[in-house]
């Protein structure tokens, strides 16, 4: 990547996929500000109709879009197809969410007029997208922001600009102005400039805790900008009493290694009851040994593609070695089957004996295992993190789950289900380093518009009461 050019390469092959110029932040913001009032003035029904046209444009390009997502991220084609389907589904979910979360209210009183509640858009919103779901996750901000009447500047990850550009073109092709939805190609510098720009009214971010905290710090003295941060997790999956160890192993593998572990909700830590340890880990290890790791279009279809780039693969390799050299016991070695490419076969390591387990999000197919003896110990270990996005209990009885749900620190708490695969029809977000209490998905409507309370009468009518002297003026005849 040169100073003014960004190049995207396919993780699975290393070949160049796309290149483009870095955008002009000031010009992009100015254009959005000019376009926003007319968009906000459109009737809600018009905005919704245009977004339904966008969903139809995505349907028309379904295959092409999925292939582009697969090529630029490396994820298997079957998974890229599910991402594109999520982009389509987001429109109707967001229409329902806007009606439910930002509905109008009116209370009439004969003498006091009426009290009204309505919602207004913020203005120009920046969406900073991630590379792991380069269409679905930014789309989850863009669609509700547009429904609410905001203009949107979307800066895709510098690792997936081709998907970002394609997504923006589909909005424009549906009849939404290229000034109302703009894509700004750029890297971290452009992202920082957008966050700090005085013409920006809100920042909607999905990415690492480090970047999210930097945004939060930058805007700490500017409460006028709405900020929604989704920052990932160091998510626990707790395995407790169950006879169905094979099913449990499948849920664990799905949680830890779907999308090559590149999901913010992926399980990073398996906390397992000591008496189940040997049987459960044998099943997990056996299943991991069957995982097909390959390119997006390989046959048979792989379960996992590569991670996003060689740099990410190198960091994961270094992390596995660090854990091993500081008391971790390898259960399944993290392997790199293709030199020079970021394919990784999942790693599993027992870190029970480590004096200090690093509380970081290792974003890839690397699972730590911790052995415990009691359920209280399991909950304490699950909560032994500054993050708080997702957590699952596998096994146990309803009383165990009630205790787990009540005591676990997470925004998504599941029972006998994976840690990942959250529904777009529910709120999505976490606590601690996982977010700033502005959950996305169904609750995205909450940060895309602000409530306005009004007291209204058609004619002025008022009288004064206590605290006024008698009016001694003569009454006019």
**DSSP line for 411-474:** SEEEESS-SS---TTSEE--SGGGBSS--EETTHHHHHEEEEEEEE-SS------TT-----SP
Q: Which of 57, 264, 361, 381 is catalytic?
A: 264
Contact of 10 with 74, CB cutoff 8 Å: yes
Burial-class residue 431 by CB neighbours within 10 Å (0-12, 13-18, 19+). middle
Please give the sequence-ordered ranges of beta strands (E in DSSP) within 43-149, or none if there are none: 105-109, 113-121, 124-128
Contact of 440 with 416, CB cutoff 8 Å: no
Residue 86 to residue 104: CA distance in whole angstroms:
28
Other Cβ atoms closer than 10 A to 332: 17
Contact of 263 with 86, CB cutoff 8 Å: no
**108-114: long-range contacts, CB 8 A cutoff, minimum separation 24:** 112/455, 112/457, 113/455, 113/456, 113/457, 113/458, 114/455, 114/456, 114/457
Q: Which two tokens stand for residue 205?
A: 């971010």
Q: Which two tokens stand for residue 258?
A: 């779907």
User: Is there a catalytic annotation at residue 448?
Assistant: no
Q: Which of 10, 72, 230, 381 is catalytic?
A: 230
User: Is there a catalytic annotation at residue 49?
Assistant: no
Provide the annotated active-site residues: 230, 264
């Amino acid at each position: 990547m040169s100073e003014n050019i960004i190049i995207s390469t396919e993780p699975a092959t290393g070949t160049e996929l796309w290149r483009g110029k870095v955008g002009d932040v000031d010009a992009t913001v100015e254009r959005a500000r000019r376009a926003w009032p007319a968009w906000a003035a459109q009737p809600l029904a018009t905005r919704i109709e245009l977004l339904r046209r966008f969903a139809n444009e995505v349907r028309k390009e379904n295959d092409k879009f999925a292939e582009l997502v697969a090529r630029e991220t490396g994820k298997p084609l079957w998974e890229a197809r599910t991402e594109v389907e999520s982009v389509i589904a987001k429109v109707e979910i967001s229409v329902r969410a806007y009606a439910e979360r930002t509905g109008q209210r009116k209370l009439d009183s004969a003498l006091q007029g009426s009290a009204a509640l309505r919602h207004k858009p913020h203005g120009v919103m920046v969406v900073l997208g991630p590379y792991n779901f380069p269409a679905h996750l930014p789309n989850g901000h863009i669609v509700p922001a547009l429904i609410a009447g905001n203009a949107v500047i979307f800066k895709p990850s510098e690792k997936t600009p081709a998907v970002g550009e394609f997504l923006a073109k589909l909005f424009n092709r549906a009849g939404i102005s290229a000034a109302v939805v703009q894509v700004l190609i750029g890297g971290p510098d452009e992202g920082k400039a957008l966050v700090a720009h005085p013409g920006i009214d809100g920042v909607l971010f999905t990415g690492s805790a480090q970047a999210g905290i930097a945004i939060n710090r930058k805007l700490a003295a500017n409460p006028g900008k709405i900020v929604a941060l989704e920052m990932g997790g160091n998510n626990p999956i707790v395995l407790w009493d169950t006879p169905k160890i094979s099913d449990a192993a499948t849920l664990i593998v799905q949680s830890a290694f779907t999308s090559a572990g590149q999901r913010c909700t992926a399980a990073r830590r398996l906390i397992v009851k000591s008496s189940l340890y040997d049987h459960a880990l044998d099943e997990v290890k056996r299943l991991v040994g069957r995982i097909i790791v390959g390119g997006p279009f390989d046959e048979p279809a792989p379960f996992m593609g590569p991670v996003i780039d060689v740099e990410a693969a190198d960091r994961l390799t270094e992390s596995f070695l660090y854990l091993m050299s500081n008391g971790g016991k390898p259960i399944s070695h993290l392997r790199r089957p293709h030199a020079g490419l970021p394919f990784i076969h999942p790693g599993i390591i027992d870190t029970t004996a480590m004096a200090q387990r690093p509380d970081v999000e290792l974003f890839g197919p690397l699972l730590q295992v911790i052995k415990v003896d009691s359920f209280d110990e399991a909950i304490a270990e699950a909560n032994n993190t500054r993050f708080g996005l997702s957590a699952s209990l596998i096994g146990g009885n309803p009383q165990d789950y009630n205790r787990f749900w009540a005591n676990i620190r997470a925004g998504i708490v599941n029972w006998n289900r994976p840690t990942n695969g959250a529904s777009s029809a529910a709120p999505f977000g976490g606590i601690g380093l996982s977010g700033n209490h502005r959950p996305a998905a169904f609750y995205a409507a909450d940060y895309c518009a602000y409530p306005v309370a009004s007291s209204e009468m058609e004619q002025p009518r008022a009288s004064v009461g206590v605290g006024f002297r008698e009016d001694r003026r003569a009454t006019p005849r």
